[in-house]
Structure 1
Amino acid sequence: MAVASRTSVTSRGSGVRSDELGWSDHSRDDPDVVRLRAHLENHNGLSGLEIVEAGDIERAVRIFRRDGFVVIADALTSSQTSVLRDGCDEVIDGIVSLDDDRSGNRGSHRYSFGGSSATRSQLHRPEWQMLLDLATVNPIVAAIFGSPDYLVRSGSGDFCLPGAVEYQPLHSDIHDVDTERRSPYSSFQDPLGQISIRDLPCPYVCLNFMPQDMTRLNGPTRQIPGSQRSREPIPTLDDEPEWMRLSTVCPAPAGSVQIRDVRAWHGGTPNLSDEARSIPNLELYAPWFREPLSPGITDDDHRRLSPYAQHLTRYVVADPGAELDTRLTLRPEPPTVPEPA
């Protein structure tokens, strides 16, 4: 299995050092951090994690439907991995420059790529556009959805800086309608109250690409196998058992992709390394599923894509001649729900 070399933050083109990038409110040599690092080195990672070759579509789909996620090796070539890593580093530098105390927008030292853009997406960047038409990935997604006619919701992802010492609570990226928050997302509702979105076929997939090796110490995502259809309450950090905290998708080599059902329980983990860990993504809706969509790519860029990538992004392309506001911002304007007429 080909593994692209990792890039430390100390060697990034911007010259940003790890002590400038992270570790703003904890010392990497703090006794509690040292104990946690040793614990993770010895115990972190899903036991028996299966990493599937891209050509083994049937096995990939079987694991995905069983566990709610699957890891595919060599989704990206070494060259593509390098391009994606450099693009992530450039965006990371811009976002972190807005946040001197590293408070993040997903918790301390944690950031959303999409949630740090005025468009709520990074699809305007060529590195994310590169991910749209991968022969190693798209056939697996089509098999999961039972059709190649799925569509792109956004290009986002997240990153955590060294010094992200806290666990992010377990959560799901989609749920039934939430009338209190008046969100345009998570809008599924059965008026008879008989079924939940968890009873449906997978409506929404996230492709989490790995531009660096995923290790026991650099903040691998924890994933709870088989939770995509569970109606049990998601445990809080205080109630979460230790095995769940250690149920992380690692080790996994750079260039891999994790394909996950967004209903499955997952969460961020401590990054106790000396480098930023990034997981850029594409978010995809099943052909039969819709929620509000926002433009993330200009018409000019859209025309330069392959015909299939154009089809995938058909609902997130801006009008001809329209410009996109691609400013980096830690907290973009929240989405709103139109009031009933």
Structure 2
Amino acid sequence: MPVTKTGADTGEPTGWSDKSKDDPQVLELKAHLETNNGIKGLQILGCNDVDEAVRLFKRDGFVVIGDVLNSEQIDFLASGCDDVINEVAALDPDNRGNRGSHRYSFGGSSLTRSQLHRPAWQMLLDVPVVSKILTPIFGSTDYILRAASGDFCLPGAVDYQPLHSDVNDWFEGGKTPFSSFFDWRGQVSLRDLPAPYICANFLPQDVTRLNGATRQIPGTQNSRAKIPNLKEEPEWMKLSTVCPAPAGAVMLRDVRAWHGGTPNLSDATRAIPNLEFYAPWFREPLVPGISYQDYKKLSAHAQQLVRFSVMDSSEELVTGTTLRAP
């Protein structure tokens, strides 16, 4: 099932608000990406390649495993993404996005900062290969869910998102970022530690050279170098994208590694819903994302993962779609 945003009247994919798909610059970029985009020698591992997955993750800061979802699960996840995408699209007819033009965060589009209340994301909690790989990476089964989120980009997202890292060291004199770390001695950086926070992005559609593959810079999870801005970024980094990758795969990412969005020059929306996990030794206050009633319906394994994200049984979980999560 394709993941797409469609017009309410025509049923046709929408997007392309900034430039026409026939714009000469768009056509030139499209030809360039068709020829050159994608990490050379990208490995798509099998579900039984656990040791190799752990090795590549620790080396590169990410790894891709194929066939973790069957066809029914792919369709269910794609349908769940479509529900959110169309709700968000109704609030943003001009495709301005909340992560740049034509770009959106699933979590940033929810009043709970998460999509954990939706069955499609709950299903992902029990994908076996994820726990098989996360356990040796974290060295324990006692890791927890931070959120159920991800992102999507509409066709016509013609710009690159700047490279960034999702976590930082704590700093004074400003807004402390989420998931920050502070060593009062000034000796240890967040990047010197084992992976504190891992994201599992699931693919409900093929990720191609043209539909907005994630660009991922291998080995940067431990780098203290300044992340280059778009003007400074070399061309090889812009082409360092995790593609092609098939629907049903999962990409596990150390969120410290440099990454960013790329142009979606296709005719369909590209979605990468995720689950985000904290290491057993890493914690911060979490926003409840699932009602107690729904929590009780989960498997024992899923309940263990979300135990810090469940709303108290005496309170109602208020859900809804927004362009700016509170």
Please give the TM-score of this superposition, normalised by the length of structure 2. Answer: 0.97
1:245 is the counterpart of 2:238: yes
Q: Which residue of 2 aligns with 1:338?
A: none
Q: Which residue of 2 aligns with 1:57?
A: 50
The answer (yes or no) to whether the contact 2:5–2:86 under 8 Å persists in 1 is: no
From 5, 12, 15, give the equivalent of 1:17. 12
What is the distance in 1 between the residues matched to 2:69 and 2:10? 26
The answer (yes or no) to whether the contact 2:3–2:81 under 8 Å persists in 1 is: no
The answer (yes or no) to whether the contact 2:69–2:249 under 8 Å persists in 1 is: yes
Q: Which residue of 2 aligns with 1:266?
A: 259
1:173 is the counterpart of 2:166: yes
1:79 is the counterpart of 2:72: yes
Distance 1:184 1:315, change over 3 A: farther
What code does the residue aligned with 1:9 have?
Answer: T
Q: How do residues 85-104 of structure 1 correspond to structure 2 at under 5 angstroms?
A: 85-104=78-97
1:206 to partner: Cα distance: 0.1
What is the distance in 1 between the residues matched to 2:53 and 2:43? 9
What SS does structure 1 have at the residue aligned with 2:115?
coil
Contiguous gaps of at least 5 residues in structure 2: none
Q: How do residues 113-128 of structure 1 correspond to structure 2 at under 5 angstroms?
A: 113-128=106-121
The answer (yes or no) to whether the contact 1:23–1:162 under 8 Å persists in 2 is: yes
Q: Which residue of 1 aligns with 2:215?
A: 222
Please give the TM-score of this superposition, normalised by the length of structure 1. Answer: 0.93
The answer (yes or no) to whether the contact 1:160–1:271 under 8 Å persists in 2 is: yes
1:285 is the counterpart of 2:256: no
1:228 to partner: Cα distance: 0.2
What SS does structure 1 have at the residue aligned with 2:128?
coil
What is the distance in 2 between the residues matched to 1:181 and 1:83? 42
Q: Which residue of 2 aligns with 1:34?
A: 27
Structure 1 stretch displaced more, 21-30 or 119-128: 21-30
1:136 to partner: Cα distance: 2.1
Q: Name the Cα RMSD after superposition.
A: 1.5
1:13 to partner: Cα distance: 9.8
1:254 is the counterpart of 2:253: no
What is the distance in 1 between the residues matched to 2:173 and 2:10? 45
The percentage of aligned residue pairs carrying the same residue is 61
What is the distance in 1 between the residues matched to 2:135 and 2:159? 36
Distance 1:234 1:184, change over 3 A: closer
What is the distance in 2 between the residues matched to 1:71 and 1:130? 19
1:183 to partner: Cα distance: 3.2
The answer (yes or no) to whether the contact 1:8–1:274 under 8 Å persists in 2 is: no
Q: Which residue of 2 aligns with 1:112?
A: 105
What is the distance in 1 between the residues matched to 2:255 and 2:3? 30
What SS does structure 2 have at the residue aligned with 1:137?
helix
What is the distance in 1 between the residues matched to 2:233 and 2:194? 27
What SS does structure 1 have at the residue aligned with 2:296?
helix
What code does the residue aligned with 2:209 have?
Answer: R
What is the distance in 2 between the residues matched to 1:10 and 1:294? 28
Q: Deviations over 1:75-94 (max 9, x none)?
A: 11111011000100110000
1:190 is the counterpart of 2:183: yes
Contiguous gaps of at least 5 residues in structure 1: 1-5, 334-341
What SS does structure 1 have at the residue aligned with 2:73?
helix
What is the distance in 1 between the residues matched to 2:36 and 2:172? 41
1:124 to partner: Cα distance: 0.4
Q: Which residue of 2 aligns with 1:327?
A: 320
Q: Deviations over 1:227-274 (max 9, x none)?
A: 000000000000000000000000000000000000000000000000
What is the distance in 1 between the residues matched to 2:7 and 2:271? 14
What code does the residue aligned with 2:11 have?
Answer: V
1:182 to partner: Cα distance: 2.3
What is the distance in 2 between the residues matched to 1:138 and 1:179? 36
Structure 1 stretch displaced more, 154-163 or 176-185: 176-185
What code does the residue aligned with 1:7 have?
Answer: P
What SS does structure 2 have at the residue aligned with 1:260?
strand
1:168 to partner: Cα distance: 0.1
What is the distance in 2 between the residues matched to 1:192 and 1:186? 19
1:7 to partner: Cα distance: 1.6
What is the distance in 2 between the residues matched to 1:13 and 1:150? 42
What is the distance in 2 between the residues matched to 1:82 and 1:14? 23
From 2, 7, 15, give the equivalent of 1:7. 2
1:144 is the counterpart of 2:137: yes
Distance 1:93 1:11, change over 3 A: closer
Q: Deviations over 1:167-200 (max 9, x none)?
A: 0000000010133432361331000000100000
Q: Which residue of 1 aligns with 2:192?
A: 199
1:48 to partner: Cα distance: 0.3
The answer (yes or no) to whether the contact 1:175–1:186 under 8 Å persists in 2 is: yes
What SS does structure 2 have at the residue aligned with 1:304?
coil
What SS does structure 2 have at the residue aligned with 1:136?
helix
What is the distance in 2 between the residues matched to 1:68 and 1:332? 28
1:311 is the counterpart of 2:296: no
What is the distance in 2 between the residues matched to 1:116 and 1:178? 27
